[in-house]
Amino acid sequence: MANELDGKQIAFLTANEGVEQVELTEPWKAVEEAGGTPVLVSIEKGQVQGFNHLTEADTFDATLAAGDANVADYDGLVLPGGVANPDQLRADDASVAFASAFFEAGKPVAAICHAPWTLVEAGVVSGRTLTSWPSLRTDISNAGGSWVDQEVCVCTDGPNHLITSRNPDDIPAFNEKLVAEFSRNG
């Protein structure tokens, strides 16, 4: 993966409370190992609380609030999961607008586990095939998307590519595909 993302900035959008830590840290590491620069964006600038499922884990520093972030500064977007994280993001207008703007700009987006809830709220799943944590199946279908149960799904419908995975067990495949797809754009 070395240098495939050389010079590319990748936004990681999270809520300040409740991100599934491994779904943040492992893709972050993959972006860095591929030569990219990950940037943590959150609802509010400041501390982001990671969780290992339901147990508090580490904290991370978000350098920007979603309302202050400019999609033009980034080559791709990663949406980590956890139940609380995307539930909070989908209730925040600035975060939803930030995620939606990547689709409008034709830039790749990668979402894992419960993260597609933010995409449902953004109105960008219609006509797309994606995967997620199984409990989102109905939400994705009701939003006009097609849900599949597979380790990683790359949807190339539309001007941008959408990479999705179901859960932390899928992270190796998720990371491989997000680096490959992000390296193709820009």
CATH 3.40.50.970 for domain 9-184, yes or no, is no
Short-list 148, 112, 138, 106, CA closest to 124: 106
Neighbours of 80 (CB within 10 A): 28
- Could you say which of 113, 153, 155, 161 is catalytic? 113
Asked about 114 being catalytic, the answer comes back as yes
Tell me if residue 154 falls in helix, strand or coil: strand
Distance of CA 146 to the CA centre of its chain: 18
Domain ranges across the chain: 9-184
- Could you say which of 114, 153, 155, 161 is catalytic? 114
Short-list 185, 178, 186, CA closest to 29: 178
Per-residue pLDDT in tens (0 to 9) along the chain, 186 residues: 567 999 899 999 999 999 999 999 999 999 999 999 999 999 999 999 999 988 999 999 999 999 999 999 999 999 999 999 999 999 999 999 999 999 999 999 999 999 999 999 999 999 999 999 999 999 999 999 999 999 999 999 877 899 999 999 999 999 999 999 999 865
Rounded-to-integer distance, Cα 32 and Cα 26, Å: 10
Residue 186: predicted pLDDT: 54
pTM of the predicted protein model? 0.96
Asked about 155 being catalytic, the answer comes back as no
